[in-house]
Structures are given as structure tokens and as C-alpha cells.
Amino acid sequence: GILTAIVLHGMFNFLVTLPDLLPGHPRTLGDLFGSAAGSPLNYVALLIIPSLFYVVGGFWILSILFYKKENMKERGVLVETNTYVPEDRFFAAYAQ
């Protein structure tokens, strides 16, 4: 988990500083690709991409951590288990 967090954080920091490193300091995808003035790419900020990495990546990591069986048992979530019941004990419960 910590390694993934470090990688995501490093990627986010690089992508945030990328517009300052590029010539012309583009702020939108339209600036980056040199699209026309009426293009929809002019409305998409470059910071959207690292922000999505953070949001989607964070949700993904937390989902994996909370979905582990031991965490589910600890937090009171019902966990389905399979138990072998011999045939005579199974029918004995209904015979009474």
C-alpha cells in the first residue's frame, strides 16, 4: 500500500509540474495540442489528469484494503463460510 501511495504521489507531482516544464506553459489540452479556438479541448485543464489519478487510485486502493476478509470480519461485515455437515446430522435436525 505504501509503495503504491508513493508512486501515485510522485506521478501526481510530476504531472502537476509538467505544464511549467513544457515550452509555452500550456494550461489546457487545447494549448498542449495546439487546437483551434472553438475546440472542446480548450476547456479540459491539464490538472484534471493527475486529479483523476489521485481520486481513482485512492478509491481503488481503499476498496482493496477494505475488501480483504480479515478487515471485513473485524468491522462486522457478514462473511459467508462453507461448512461440511454430515448427512445424518443434517436430517437429524429436521426429524425433531
pLDDT tens per residue across span 33-63: 888 888 898 888 888 877 887 788 778 878 8
Cα distance between residue 20 and residue 17, in whole Å: 5
What pLDDT does residue 85 have? 81
DSSP category for residue 44: S
Torsion of CA 68, 74, 79, 84, to 10 degrees: 110
Mean pLDDT of 83-93: 80
pLDDT tens per residue across span 58-82: 788 788 877 776 666 676 666 677 8
What pLDDT does residue 16 have? 81
Q: Domain residue spans in the chain?
A: 2-95
Mean pLDDT of 21-31: 86
Rounded to two decimals, what is the model's pTM? 0.49
What pLDDT does residue 79 have? 65
DSSP category for residue 65: H
Cα distance between residue 31 and residue 55, in whole Å: 24
Mean pLDDT of 3-11: 82
